[in-house]
Amino acid sequence: MKRICFQTNLNSPLGIQAVKESLGQLGITRFSIDFLTQSLEVFSEWIAPERIIEALKRTGVTCKLRHIKTPSLAD
């Protein structure tokens, strides 16, 4: 499963339900938000980062792709 990391403007739990619903519409059920560093990690096999950015933009969340980590066989 790929880990896709974004920098966001999320700095509090306000609006987290909208984020959860937007990601859920894309079939994403595993994600992590760090409000201190304003980072979002999404775990998915197939979703394009651009689709995540567009879905979150509709909820008022701005995000920028930081990196994508694909696990190796050694992980």
**pLDDT one-digit tens code per residue, 1-56:** 899 999 999 999 988 999 999 999 999 999 999 999 999 999 998 899 999 999 99
The whole-number pLDDT of residue 74 equals 60
Q: Which of 36, 55, 34, 35 is nearest to 44 (CA)?
A: 55
Widest distance between CA atoms in the chain: 38
Query: What band does 65 get if pLDDT is binned at 50, 70 and 90?
Result: very high
Query: What band does 71 get if pLDDT is binned at 50, 70 and 90?
Result: confident
Euclidean distance between CA atoms 68 and 17, whole angstroms: 24
Residue 75, pLDDT > 70, answer no
CB atoms within 10 A of CB 62: 12
